[in-house]
A and B are shown apart, each in its own frame.
Chain A
């Protein structure tokens, strides 16, 4: 299984600012995923990030609000731009398994509170 770390683990931010979340994997992976988990709710896929190409965003999420970088096969960043209190969520990155590609492994998450 992949070991995934995220930075920061939590943050409290002011409205109108931006936060960049980092995701580091201990092995090279083709696809990385970013999810949002709003308080008391399930996970919603924001986008899929492939190395060397533009991220693919799900319905309801746009690049201007959630720009993603994927500079190499072990690292990705998600930026939450021009934040509002509605962006207060847990943001998780995940990767597919290597032994079985239908499996996904998750990072510990970044807990974001926007005031």
Chain B
């Protein structure tokens, strides 16, 4: 069965500092991986996705993530945090197949301190 684990339910960074949100996956077959962002009182927006084409994936708003098979990780990073990045971030995994069920991590709330 597929699963994702997000380390740290809350992360605080200073404005301008590096953002690192951790996600580890478990899957018996090569997965597809996603990062979604949820701003307060809004739905989920896709930040980026790993589809096996390239291990380093660039997304919107300056975010990127690197797929590391040896570490079963897909951590989300951004070189310089902005106040507008304050939101909740969800890592998700999907296994290609007939049903294609998405499994979400528990989420990480990012706080950006001015």
Task: Using CB atoms and an 8 Å cutoff, list the residues of chain A in contact with chain B.
Answer: 1, 4, 33, 41-43, 45, 92, 94, 96, 100-109, 111
B44 part of interface (Cβ distance < 8 Å) = yes
**Given A103-B46, A103-B49, A43–B96 Cβ distance below 8 Å?**
no
Cβ of B42: which chain A residues have Cβ within 8 Å of it?
108-109
Is the CB–CB distance between A102 and B32 below 8 Å?
yes
Report A-chain residues with C-beta under 8 Å of the C-beta of B102.
Answer: 33, 45, 104
Residue B55 CB within 8 A of the other chain: no
Contact across chains for B49 and A43 when beta carbons are under 8 A apart = no
9 contacts between A and B (CB under 8 A): A42-B104, A42-B107, A43-B44, A92-B44, A101-B100, A102-B32, A102-B94, A103-B34, A105-B46
Number of interface residues of B (CB under 8 A): 21
Interface residues of B in 75-114 (CB under 8 A from A): 90, 94, 96, 100-102, 104-107
Known: A42-B106, A45-B102, A102-B96. A109 touches B90 (CB 8 A): no
Residues of B within 8 A of A (CB): 32, 34, 36, 41-46, 49, 51, 90, 94, 96, 100-102, 104-107
A43-B104 in contact given A100-B51, A102-B96 (Cβ < 8 Å) = yes
Q: How far in angstroms is the closest Cβ of chain A from B113? A: 21
In the assembled complex, which residues on chain A have CB atoms less than 8 Å from the CB atom of B45? 106
* A residues less than 8 Å from B105 (CB atoms): 42
Interface pair A42/B90, CB less than 8 Å apart: yes
